[in-house]
Amino acid sequence: MISKRTCFRVLLSLASLSLAWASPQHATAQPEPDKELNCSDGKDNDGDGVIDCEDADCADNPACQSPPPSAKPDRETNCTDRIDNDGDSVVDCADSDCYDDPACKPNGMPENTNSLCSDFIDNDGDGAIDCDDMDCQGPGVTACKGSWRGPNSGTAQAPMDMPALGPGMSVEDLIGTGSDKDGERNDILCSDGIDNDGDGRIDCADFGCRFDPSVTVCTGNPDIRFSVVGQLSHSHYFKKDPSSTLPEDDTRVTALQLRALGPIRGIENSFFLLSMRAERTPRLTFAMFQIPVGSRFYLNVNSGGGSLSTGLIKSASKRPLIDPAYYLYSSFEQGNGAAVDFGGPINASGSLQFRTYVAGGSGRYNGNVGGRYFRDEDVGNYTYSFGAQATVNLIGYFHRFDTGFLYTKVPTMAAFSLGAKYDQRSIERYPAGNAQLAFRSGIFSLESEFYGKRELEFKSTQFAYNVTGGLLLVPKHLFFAADYGAFIAGKLEKPPEDLFDTGSDVRKQRDEMQARAALHWFFYRHVGVLSALYRYRDVKSSRDQKDGYKESEGRLVASYWF
């Protein structure tokens, strides 16, 4: 018979065993969660390599949101949370409030991880911080690849959904696929902090910005970008202007364009662009500085080249016929000393865009920023211009700096622009109108432009037009383009007593037409291009020259841009 004491000991042992089995060391191991559970514990809960507020899972977590303006403290309160606590546009160790914080002292470790390359600390003490340190350009580091953090970037609302590349495909073929809309494909749209095509991806997160070869702001270090365009040409004149002193054959470097583009320090979503020509002597030919106004609009200050037409300011690598059609701007545009643009999308989707501008300057623009000269005794005349332009995106998205030069197939896009302005030249004064149509689809591109003006001083009506078509014969290899256009000078209804008193702008105006065709061979990806161009020009008599002439030229051009 078992005693009461023995029963008590047996029950006590069983209870001890139950407690031991229920203790943590005997608990079943739990798998890692599929998202960050705690956004402020300093741990990588889901094991995806990013911690706390750096993880996209924490984007909507209150701990990772900046406080509202009314609640922002006077100084940075946390130097490791990657949040701009005091709203002064500098974060954590980049803020002077954190200079004495122990977390912002160099730890002596080499800068070769995403975390160490984005903490605003010179960890290895070599004088270079984060992406300025060449160690941060090594393999596996994506924090210094522009605003794109890699194939896992994006948000729950706009995942990167990187499609698989098929046989013979490259990343350029991904533009416009999946949930990506093909509307951001130039350095300006890829730097403005705006989701221009409304696909949920901003700037370098957009496929077009990341993969279009002509976009330079989303590669390499996220600071200043440099690009080079060079052209070596051989030209032969089959017929030419009898009064011309140009040689029948000529070989020379016809273009050497150097460009720098980057953000303006301390201003979010801003940028500057400097363009230099260096064929004969280095000269800065175009400068532009842009800052955001609110969340949608921009304010742009530039050197005044071009008002409604972009022929004067597009890079040499953007033109399917190598040179702009001279008659499209010679009698309609003037090089002012400086200009101010204001514009942006009218509606939230970005399908309606507008821009307004005002420009002015004394004398004549001579191809250099800040440079000018006077002629025709116009020293006392001040020239100015002001106008507005609206763009309607009928299908897809278009920007005035986009190009009709095709390297790969493109989705369908159609847009229409309409603009009007008033110009006061040294001799002429006139209102003018401009209309542009752009269309791209697959292997085909089409651009047309019309310019017209009513000159008020001598009472003449002038207009010009140009139509350019392109056909991608073999993607990434052969592209064909051709254009046709004309200029109609119009008669002077109120001619001066002496035509020479009007200055050369009026005297040299003459009717003309021009037709061109070019075949482009991409012999090394998009960087090296060999072009064969033929140009025919029929120039009629002018107001001071009664004899017209016909001109035909063949040109072989080797170009590179990177």
pLDDT tens digit sequence for 387-424:
999 999 999 888 888 888 899 888 899 999 999 999 98
The mean pLDDT of the chain is 80
Q: Which residue intervals of 212-365 are DSSP H helices? A: none
Element (H, E) at 254: strand 249-262
> For residues 369 and 302, what is the distance between their CA atoms, to the nearest angstrom?
10
Buried residues in 471-502 as b, exposed as e (16+ CB within 10 A): ebeebbeebebbbbbbbbbbebeeeeeeeeeb
Query: CA of 327: how far to CAs of 142, 315, 467, 490, in Å?
Result: 47, 18, 13, 14
Question: Which residue's entry shows tokens 């545009």?
Answer: 333
Q: What is the number of other CB atoms lying within 10 angstroms of the CB of residue 120?
A: 16
Query: Phi and psi of 402, rounded to 5°?
Result: -65, 160
Alpha-carbon torsion 69, 72, 75, 79, what sign? negative
Query: Phi and psi of 93, rounded to 5°?
Result: -70, -10
- 128 domain residue, yes or no: no
357-391, pLDDT tens digit by residue?
Answer: 999 888 766 667 877 766 656 666 788 999 999 99
> For residues 505 and 286, what is the distance between their CA atoms, to the nearest angstrom?
23
- 378 domain residue, yes or no: yes
What are the structure tokens assigned to 173, written together? 């073929």
300-309, pLDDT tens digit by residue?
Answer: 999 886 689 8
- 265 domain residue, yes or no: no
Question: Which residue's entry shows tokens 């260096």?
Answer: 278
440-479, pLDDT tens digit by residue?
Answer: 999 999 999 999 999 998 899 999 999 999 999 999 999 9
- 527 domain residue, yes or no: yes
> For residues 413 and 181, what is the distance between their CA atoms, to the nearest angstrom?
10
> For residues 89 and 62, what is the distance between their CA atoms, to the nearest angstrom?
19
Contact present, 217 and 225 (Cβ < 8 Å):
yes
- 325 domain residue, yes or no: yes
| Structural domain harbouring 554 | 228-253+317-334+346-353+370-561
Buried residues in 541-551 as b, exposed as e (16+ CB within 10 A): ebbeeeeebeb
> What's 557's domain CATH number?
2.40.160
Q: What is the number of other CB atoms lying within 10 angstroms of the CB of residue 224?
A: 13
Contact present, 270 and 264 (Cβ < 8 Å):
yes
- 310 domain residue, yes or no: no
Task: Spell out the residues 6+ positions from residue 76 whose beta carbon is closer than 8 angstroms to its own.
Answer: 84, 85, 86, 91, 92, 95, 97, 98
- Residue 370 Cα to chain centre, angstroms: 24
Strand partners, 558: 232, 530
Q: What per-residue confidence (pLDDT) applies to 151?
A: 35
> For residues 133 and 336, what is the distance between their CA atoms, to the nearest angstrom?
41
Contact present, 82 and 115 (Cβ < 8 Å):
no
Q: How confident is the model at residue 69 (pLDDT cuts 50, 70, 90)?
A: very low
> For residues 46 and 35, what is the distance between their CA atoms, to the nearest angstrom?
5
User: Which of 170-174, 496-500, 545-549 shows the lowest mean pLDDT across its residues?
Assistant: 496-500
- 506 domain residue, yes or no: yes
Q: How confident is the model at residue 263 (pLDDT cuts 50, 70, 90)?
A: confident
- 400 domain residue, yes or no: yes
Buried residues in 8-29 as b, exposed as e (16+ CB within 10 A): eeeeeeeeeeeeeeeeeeeeee
Task: Spell out the residues 6+ positions from residue 347 whose beta carbon is closer than 8 angstroms to its own.
Answer: none
Read off the DSSP letter of residue 351: S
Q: What per-residue confidence (pLDDT) applies to 152?
A: 33
- Answering whether pTM is above 0.75, one says no
Q: Residue 70 pLDDT > 50, yes or no?
A: no
Domain count across the chain: 1
In SS3 terms, 301-315 reads as EECCCCCCCCCCCCC
Q: Residue 254 pLDDT > 60, yes or no?
A: yes
Task: Spell out the residues 6+ positions from residue 81 whose beta carbon is closer than 8 angstroms to its own.
Answer: 40, 52, 53, 63, 64, 92
